Structure 1
Amino acid sequence: MAGMMVGGILGGHLSDRFGRRFMLRWCYLQVAIVGTCAALAPTFLIYCSLRFLSGIAAMNLITNTIMLIAEWATHRFQAMGITLGMCTSGIAFMTLAGLAFTIRDWHILQLVVSVPHFVIFLTSSWLLESARWLIINNKPEEGLKELRKAAHRSGMKNARDTLTLEILQSTMKKELEAAQKKKPPCELLHMPNICKRISLLSFTRFANFMAYFGLNLNVQHLGNNVFLLQTLFGAVILLANCVVPWALKYMKHRASQMLLMFLLAICLLAIVLVLQEVQMLREVLATLGLGASSLANTLAFAHGNEVIPTIIRARAMRINATFANTAGALAPLMIILSVYSPPLPWIIYGVLPFISGFAFLLLPETRNKPLLDTIQDEKNERKDSREPKQEGPSMKVTQF
C-alpha cells in the first residue's frame, strides 16, 4: 500500500510530463518484471521491496487508464467507458479468489498473475495518446496525428481531408492559448475554487478507501471462508458497477454519491451490532457495504474527472490518489485499536463515510455537462451558474 501511495504522488506529475500512454505502457512492463521477480525473491525483505515497486506501478495503471477513457470518450459514452474500466476490478477479485483457492503455492500464484502483463504490454502499442493532453501541452501536430488515427479506426476514410491543422487550431483556440501560458508549480495556490474541489474530492476518497480497504484487508474477521467472501466481494463490485451508467445518466452525481456513502456507513456501523457468531449476517453487511463503496468510487472517478480541468487533471488525480492510498495504508492498522475496544475500528470505518457524504453538497453538479479543458472553462462555469437562466440556453462543447 505504501508503494501505491508513492505511485499516487509521482504518477500525476510523470503523466503530465511524459503522457498518459507512455506511463501506462511503462507501468504494465514494470508490474510484469517486478511481479515475476517477486516470485523468485530469496528473502522476505527483497520480496517486500519488489511489491513496493509493483504498488507504485499499479496505482498509475488505474489513474492513467481512467484518464485516457475520460479524455478520449465522447460525453455520450464517457460514463460507459469508465464503468467498463472499473468493472474489471470485480472480475479480478473473483479470478484472484479462484486462482488462490486452486493454486496454494504462492510462488506459482505470483507468476500466474504477473506473466500476463508482458502480453498486455506488447499489445498496448495500439493505444493512442490523449489528444487533449497533446494539445494542452502545445503539441497540436501530434494531437492531430492521434485524432486522425482514431478517426481512421472508427471508419472515417476521409479523416485526413476533414481533420486539418487549421480546423484543429480554430476549434481548440482557447486550449492552445492556455498551453502558451507557463504555470508555476504552485499555481494551484492561486486557484482557491480548484483547491476546494480537490480538497473535497481527496477527503471523500480518503473516507471511502478507509472503509473499502478496512473490509478487504480484514476479511478474516468477517467470515470463515475467505475465498468465498472474496468471490462475493468481486461479484457485488461487478454488479454495482453495472448500475453506474444508469446512475450517471438519470441521477444527480452529488446526490447518488452522498446516498451511497451513507449506505456504506450504515453497513459498517451495523457490523458492530452483530455478534461474531452470526457470520452470515456479517458477511451480507460486509458485501453490501463493499458494493456501495465500489459504486461510490466509480461515480467519484467520473465526477472527479468532470469537475477538474484537463490541464491539471492528472495533478488533481495524483493528490486524490495520495489520500486514497494513505487511507489504504492506515486501514489495516485500525484493527490494532481493537485491543482497547473491539468495535472501535469498525466505528471509525463507518463514521468517516458518513461525514464525507455531506462534502458532496459543496461540489458542483456535472450531469449532462461538457468536460472542462482549461481553468477559464471552470471560471466560465461559475459565472454561468451565477447568472439567471435565459430561454434557449446554448452550451459550447469542444468537438474533436
Structure 2
Amino acid sequence: MLKIKNPIEKHFEKITCYHIYFFVFIFLSKIPVYWHIMNMIFLSPPMNYTCLVPFKGKPCPCDDPDWDKSVFTQTMQTKYGIVCDQAWLVSFSQSMLYVGTLIGALLFGFLSDLFGRLSMFTLSCFWLGITGCLVIVMPTVTTYTVMRCLEGVGVGGAIVIGFVLLIEFCGTKHREMVTALYHIPINIGHISLAGMSYLMRDCDVLQLGLSLPVFLCVVIWFLVYESPKWLMDRGNIPKAAKVMQKISKFNKNNSCDTIEEEMNEFCTARDATAQTKVHFFQIFRHRKLSRNLLCMSFIYFVTGMGYYGVAQYIGTMSGDIHLNVAISGTLLIPGTLSTAFLLRLMSRRRFLMLTNFFSGVFMLAVIFIPADYPIVRMVMASIGCCFFFMSFVIVFLYSVELFPTSVRNSVLGFLSVLSRLGQIIAPPINSLNPTVAGAIFGVAAIIGAALCYPLPETKHIDLPSTLEDSKALPRTRQQMNEDIQLR
C-alpha cells in the first residue's frame, strides 16, 4: 500500500469553515429527497370504504365505493378508484418507485464517475423536482405508476452522489461522525413527512408540497465546489489544486499554496509503484474484492428491505398513522446519535454485525407479542427499525471505504441497486400476514449479521485510491494497528 499521505485527505483532516458551509447544503438537500422515498405511506395509506351496491351481499366487486375520508380527503385509491381485485396496484406502485431508485442509483453512479459528482447531483435533483410535480397530473393509474418510477430515478441518483460527495470532502478522522450526522436529516424528513401529511390530507397537494422544495437543491451547483479527490484521481490535478486553493481562500488561510506540487508528488509516487486502477467488472477477477462485494450486496439488500419495509410495516399498524410514523421517526434520532458516538469506539465490521443482529432479534420479538398489546408491538418494531437504520448508516460508510476511487461510485451505485431491490419487495412482503412479514425481516437481518464476518476492517484507514490499496485492507485488528503504525 502507498505510504505517502494523500494530500487532499491531509488537508481535510481538520473541519474548516468551508466544510461546515458545504455540509449544511448537502444535509438540507437530504430532507426533500427523503420525503419522496417514504411519501407512499401517506399517498396511499390503508383506506376503508363501504360498497353502496354490494354484489350478492359481498363487499367485492364494487363499482361505487363510499370512501371513509375522515383522515385523508384524497389518496391514490380514491383518485383512481382502486378497490377489490385492483388493490395490488397500491403495493405495485410503491415497488415501481423503488425500481426507479434502483435505476437512478446505478445510472447516476456510473455517470458521476465519468462526468463529476456535483453536476450529476444537481441534475438528479432537477429530474426529481420535475417528475415529482408531473405525478399529480397523471390521468390514469398506469401513467401515475410510470411517473412514480421516473421520480425514483432522481431519488436514487441524489442519494448516492450526495453521500459520495460528502465522504470525499472528509478526512479520515471525522468520517464516522460526519457520516452519522448526515443521517439526522433523514430522521427530520421522517418526522416532518408525518407533519406535512397531517397538514395536507389531499395526495396531490401533498405531492406538490414535497416536490417544489427539491428545486432549491439545484442551486447547490452555484454554491459549492466539485470533489477535488475525484478531479485528482481523474488526472485533472490543476483543476483539483484550484478547487483546494479556493477552499483555502474561503477559510482565509494559505494552507494550500503548495497543494499542486503535493498532488503531483503523490500521483507520481503512486504511479511508480505500478498500482492498478480497476474498472467495475474487473472486480470479479480478484477474490478479496469479489468477496467484499458479494457480502456487502446481501447486507445492502437486507438493510434496504428491512428499514423501508419495517417503516411501512409500522404505518399499517393500528392507531393514528401520523402518530405512529412520527414516533418511529423520533426513535431514530437517538439511534443516529448513538451511531455517531459508537462508530468512534467500535470497528466497522463488529458494529455492523451487531446492528444487523439486534434488528433481526427485535423484529422476531414483534411476532410473538399478542395483538392485544399494539403499543408494545409498535415500540418493539420501532426499535427494530432503529437498528435497521443504524445498519444503513454504517453500511454506506463501510462500503465506500472498501473499494478504490475509480469504481467507488459505480460500486455504491451497484450496491444501492441491491438496496432498492430490497425496497421493491418490501411492499409485497408487508401485504402478507404480519407474522410472516416480521419473520422475513428478522431472519434476513440475522443472516446479514453472519455475512459481516469475512469483511476486512477499514477504521482509521485512508480511502483506497487503487486496487492494491483495497486488497491490502487489514483483516484483523492487529493488522489494522500495524498498518496505522506504518503510516
- TM-score, normalised via structure 2 length: 0.75
| CA deviation vs aligned residue, 1:46-91 (integer Å, no higher than 9, x gap) | 2222221111111111111111111111112222221222111100
The answer on 1:279 being equivalent to 2:365 is no
- In the alignment, the residues of structure 1 paired with residue 368 and residue 119 of structure 2 have an alpha-carbon distance, to the nearest angstrom, of 49
d(CA) in 2 for partners of 1:391, 1:260: 27
Tell me, yes or no, if the aligned pair for 1:268 and 1:349 is still in contact at 8 Å.
yes
Partner letter of residue 135 of structure 1?
Answer: M
Indicate the larger mover: 180-189 or 220-229: 180-189
Residue number in structure 2 paired with 1:357: 449
Residues 11-63 of structure 1: CA deviation (Å, up to 9, x unaligned): 22111111111111001111111111222333332222222111111111111
After TM superposition, the structure 1 stretch with the greater mean CA deviation from structure 2, 123-132 or 68-77, is 123-132
The answer to whether the 8 A contact 1:252-1:365 is kept is yes
CA shift for structure 1 position 218: 2.7
Question: Residues 256 and 186 of structure 1: is their aligned pair in 2 closer, same or farther, counting only changes over 3 Å?
Answer: closer
Cα shift readout 1:349-396 (whole Å, capped 9, x = no counterpart): 11010111011111112222222111121234459999898799321x
Task: Indicate conservation of the 8 Å contact 2:187/2:332, yes or no.
Answer: yes
**Matches of 2:110 and 2:484 in 1, distance apart?**
41
Q: Does 1:373 find its partner at 2:470?
A: no
5+ long unaligned stretches in structure 1: 396-400
Mapped to 1, the partners of 2:329 and 2:304 lie a distance apart of 16
Q: Which amino acid aligns with 2:448?
A: S
More divergent stretch after superposition (299-308 vs 25-34): 299-308
**Is 1:55 aligned to 2:152, yes or no?**
yes
User: Helix, strand or coil for the counterpart of 1:361?
Assistant: coil
Q: 324, 328, 331: which one pairs with 1:233?
A: 328
Structure-1 residue corresponding to 2:250: 153
Could you tell me how far apart the structure 2 residues matched to 1:276 and 1:388 are?
Answer: 48
Q: Identify which of 296, 300, 306 aligns with 1:201.
A: 296
CA distance in 2, matches of 1:225, 1:216: 14
- For the 8 Å contact 1:169–1:176, the answer to whether it is kept is no
Query: Which residue does the alignment assign to 2:203?
Result: 106
Deviation, 1:238, is: 2.2
Unpaired runs of at least 5, structure 2: 1-97
1:126 aligns with: 223
**1: distance between equivalents of 2:251 and 2:175?**
16
Distance 2:113 2:445 in 1: 31
CA distance in 1, matches of 2:122, 2:177: 23
Cα separation, 1, equivalents of 2:230 and 2:365: 45
Give the equivalent residue in structure 1 for 2:259: 163
The reply on whether 1:211 has 2:306 as its aligned counterpart is yes
What is the one-letter code of the residue matched to 2:460?
N
**Aligned residue number for residue 304 of structure 1:** 399
Assess if the C-alpha contact under 8 Å between 2:458 and 2:474 holds in 1: no
Match of 1:345 in 2: 437
**3-state SS of the aligned residue for 2:181?**
helix
Amino acid at match of 1:250: L
Alignment correspondent of 2:232 = 135
Segment drifting more, 12-21 vs 374-383: 374-383
* Counterparts of 1:167 and 1:105, CA distance in 2: 57
Contact 1:83/1:298, CA 8 A, preserved across alignment: yes
Question: 1: distance between equivalents of 2:326 and 2:117?
Answer: 32
Compared with structure 1, are the counterparts of its residues 272 and 130 closer, same or farther at alpha carbon in structure 2 (3 Å cutoff)?
Answer: same
Alignment check: 8 A CA contact 1:138 1:180 kept? no
Deviation at 1:176, TM superposition (A): 6.0
How far apart, CA to CA, are the structure 2 residues paired with 1:310 and 1:271?
A: 41
Match of 1:331 in 2: 426
1:174 Cα deviation from its structure 2 partner: 4.8
The answer as to whether partners of 1:101 and 1:227 remain within 8 angstroms in 2 is yes
Q: Is the 8 A contact 1:254 1:360 kept in 2?
A: yes
Regions of 4+ moved over 4 Å = 174-185, 382-392
C-alpha contact (below 8 Å) 1:175/1:373 kept by paired residues: no
8 Å contact kept, 2:275–2:468: no
Q: Cα offset for 1:336?
A: 4.3
Moved more, 347-356 or 206-215: 206-215
Match in the other structure for 1:269: 364
Q: More displaced, 329-338 or 251-260?
A: 329-338
What residue is the counterpart of 2:348 in the other structure? 253
Tell me: CA distance 1:347–1:387, structure 2 relative to 1, closer, same or farther (3 Å).
closer
Is 1:244 the counterpart of 2:310? The answer is: no
Find the aligned partners of 1:300 and 1:177 in 2 and give their Cα distance.
33
Query: How many aligned positions are there?
Result: 390
Match of 2:181 among 68, 75, 84: 84
Residues of 1 paired with 2:324 and 2:259: CA distance?
51
Paired with 2:280 and 2:211, the residues of 1 have a C-alpha distance of 36
**2:283 alignment counterpart:** 188
What is the aligned partner in structure 1 of residue 100 from structure 2? 3
Q: Which amino acid aligns with 1:373?
A: S
Task: Give the structure-1-normalised TM-score.
Answer: 0.90
Q: 1:57 is aligned with what amino acid?
A: G
Partner of 2:219, secondary structure, is helix
Matched-pair contact (CA < 8 Å) for 1:272–1:343: yes
CA contact (8 A) 2:302 2:445 kept: yes
Q: Distance in 1 between matches of 2:107 and 2:144?
A: 22
In structure 2, distance between residues paired with 1:290 and 1:236? 9
For 2:18, the equivalent position in structure 1 comes to none
* Residue 40 (1) aligns with residue 40 (2): no
Other structure's SS at 1:34 match? helix
* Inter-partner Cα distance in structure 2 for 1:387 and 1:345: 41
| Distance change (3 Å), C-alpha of 1:279 and 1:172 | same
Q: 1 CA distance for matches of 2:483 and 2:113?
A: 40
Deviation at 1:97, TM superposition (A): 0.3
The residue aligned with 1:398 is none
Q: Distance in 2 between matches of 1:240 and 1:391?
A: 31
